[in-house]
């Protein structure tokens, strides 16, 4: 857990918008500004000012107190988020997929615009979804070759992310895999197709996951998303 603390603190300290990154982590831990302020014995307006980048960049002491507070509050709740974060992806899986975490969250609507994607199903849910990162994967390798025990690593540090599947023919297989796994992504993007399989759409509706399609070049997608 100490390694995770250092990684979080380092990300905040090195971020061009440290307040926005602090907000991202607070939201990941599902902690309200009020709860955080009470724990740190600060006013809610102080927390809001930091997150809105209206105060000077926080120093190492503030960042350390902030990260410690997130950990302690989560532990008091039974460590639901720390349990998720403790199993990050390793280099052994990079032959199947790559992950990227955003410095700040982005709405599903803005995410779709960045990669020029069209919504195939559950468009009404787009406004409710926040994306904290994405996983780009070779659908054939993941489905046929990757051990099932490694599937949790597709979620990087958080499940609130977009899954972008390449080498897709209909979209059925990726959605079947998502159906039988316990964790679910916030968004699914099928690369290189226009029409999505009927069963895949039904699964998406049952799981309440928007499914999008895009034919934007992968290099352009990486370039756009890796800036976040």
Q: How confident is the model over 50-102, as pLDDT tens digits?
A: 998 888 778 888 899 999 999 999 999 988 888 777 654 444 556 788 888 88
Output the pLDDT for position 30: 92
| Average pLDDT across the chain, whole number | 88
Q: If pLDDT is split at 50, 70 and 90, which confidence band does 36 have?
A: very high
- Residues above pLDDT 90, as percent of the chain: 56
The CATH number linked to 160 is 3.40.1390.20
pLDDT at position 183? 84
Rounded mean pLDDT of 6-11? 85
Q: Are residues 48 and 79 in the same domain?
A: yes
Measure the CA dihedral 130/96/182/126, to 10°.
20
65 and 161 share one domain: no
**Do 141 and 166 share a domain, yes or no?**
yes
Comparing 5 with 70, the larger pLDDT belongs to 70
Number of domains in the chain: 2
Parent domain of 195 = 91-225
The pLDDT of residue 149 is 67
User: Are 130 and 217 in the same domain?
Assistant: yes
Same-domain status, 151 and 181: yes
Domain end marker among 68, 85, 102 = 85
Report the C-alpha gap between 96 and 160 in whole angstroms: 20
| pLDDT (0 to 100) of residue 88 | 47
Q: What angle do CA 21, 26, 55 make, to 5 degrees?
A: 50
Final residue of a domain: which of 53, 85, 117?
85
Give the end of a domain, one of 65, 85, 105: 85
Q: Is the model more confident about 142 or about 35? A: 35
Cα-Cα end-to-end distance for the chain: 25
Helix (H, G, I), strand (E, B) or coil at 121: strand
Angstrom distance (rounded) from CA 162 to CA 75: 27
77 and 98, same domain (yes or no): no
Q: Are 110 and 135 in contact (CB under 8 A)?
A: no
> What does the pLDDT read at residue 90?
45
Q: Are residues 202 and 177 in the same domain?
A: yes
Domain identity same for 47 and 130: no
Q: Kindly report the CATH number assigned to the domain that includes residue 58.
A: 1.10.260
Cα–Cα dist 228/213, whole Å: 21
Non-local CB neighbours of 30 within 8 Å, separated by 6+ positions:
81
Decide: 107 and 129 in contact? Cβ < 8 Å: yes
CA distance 182 to 50: 35
Residue 179 above 90 pLDDT?
A: no
Mean pLDDT of 19-23: 91
Is the pLDDT at 199 greater than 90, yes or no?
Answer: yes
For residue 96, the model assigns a pLDDT of 82
16-25, 65-74, 156-165: range with highest mean pLDDT: 65-74
**pLDDT at site 214:** 96
Q: Given this model, what pLDDT does residue 136 score?
A: 93
Burial label, 122 (beta-carbon count in 10 A; 0-12, 13-18, 19+): buried
How far apart (Å, rounded) are the C-alpha atoms in residues 77 and 33? 16
Of the listed ranges 2-6, 89-93, 132-136, 204-208, the one predicted with least confidence = 89-93
């Amino acid at each position: 857990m100490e390694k995770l603390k250092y990684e979080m603190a380092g990300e905040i300290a090195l971020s061009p918008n440290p307040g926005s990154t602090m907000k991202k982590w607070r939201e990941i831990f599902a902690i309200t500004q009020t709860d955080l302020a009470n724990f740190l014995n600060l006013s809610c307006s102080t927390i809001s000012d930091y997150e809105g980048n209206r105060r000077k960049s926080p120093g190492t002491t503030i960042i350390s107190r902030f990260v410690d507070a997130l950990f302690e509050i989560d532990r008091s709740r039974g460590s639901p988020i720390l349990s998720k974060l403790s199993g990050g992806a390793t280099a052994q899986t990079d032959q199947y997929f790559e992950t990227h975490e955003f410095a700040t969250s982005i709405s599903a609507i803005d995410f779709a615009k960045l990669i020029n994607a069209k919504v195939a199903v559950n468009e009404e849910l787009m406004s409710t979804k926040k994306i904290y990162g994405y996983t780009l994967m070779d659908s054939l390798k993941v489905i046929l070759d990757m051990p099932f025990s490694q599937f949790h690593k597709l979620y990087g540090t958080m499940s609130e992310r977009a899954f972008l599947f390449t080498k897709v023919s209909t979209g059925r297989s990726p959605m079947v895999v998502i159906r039988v796994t316990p964790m679910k992504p916030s968004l699914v993007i099928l690369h290189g197709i226009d029409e999505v399989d009927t069963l895949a759409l039904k699964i998406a509706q049952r799981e309440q996951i928007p499914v999008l399609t895009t034919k934007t070049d992968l290099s352009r997608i990486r370039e756009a998303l890796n800036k976040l």
